Amino acid sequence: MTNGVLPEWSFDSPRVIAFPPMLYGTALAIGLVMHFLLPIGRLPSVPARLLGASLIVGSGAVAIPAKRAMRRAGTNINPNLPATAVVTDGPFRFTRNPLYLSLAALYAGIALLINAVWPLVWLVPLMMVVHWGVVRREERYLEAKFGDAYRAYQARVRRWI
């Protein structure tokens, strides 16, 4: 599967375990429910809120150009649809996963803005699920579909940051 051609039997998709925004949203919702039902500590309010607001703004500053880069390349943003190109410009010059990083920053920003510790605890297992259930599957798919072009991109650009 690493010759740049997908097997005939495969569906043209990385078969991620779930739509990534749904993963982040579900984990955040569980963490917030736990925060309100069983709060565990608080962070220093002003620094937490300032950092939270900064992360939310930073999330948008990464996500918007990443989506634009994908649209310019003519490829699908939804990982359940076929990829038509390897995107290497915009934020993709610095990280292979700018949209997932922006979702993580948005998630952490919301948790900090609300001063909720439980969602921050859930962020670690969430990122493990995203790594193994989404990112690694996408990487195998993109390598199988685009071969050397994707491998060269992997060699140049870090997976996360």
Domain-located, residue 37: no
Query: In 47-83, which positions are buried (b, 16+ CB within 10 angstroms) versus exposed (e)?
Result: ebbebbeebbeebeebbebbbebbeebeeeeebeeeb
Domain housing 131: 44-156
Domain-located, residue 28: no
Domain-located, residue 106: yes
Residues 23-80 have pLDDT tens digits of: 999 999 999 999 999 999 889 999 999 999 999 999 999 999 999 999 999 999 999 9
Residue 11: pLDDT band (50, 70, 90) is confident
Domain-located, residue 121: yes
d(CA 29, CA 79): 22
Task: Using CB atoms within 10 Å of the CB of residue 14, give its burial: 0 to 12 exposed, 13 to 18 middle, 19+ buried.
Answer: buried
Domain-located, residue 109: yes
Domain-located, residue 82: yes
Q: Which of residues 3 and 100 earns the better pLDDT score?
A: 100
The total number of structural domains in the chain stands at 1
Is the per-residue pLDDT at 125 higher than 90?
yes
> Please, what sign has the CA dihedral across residues 127, 77, 86, 139?
positive
d(CA 139, CA 132): 10
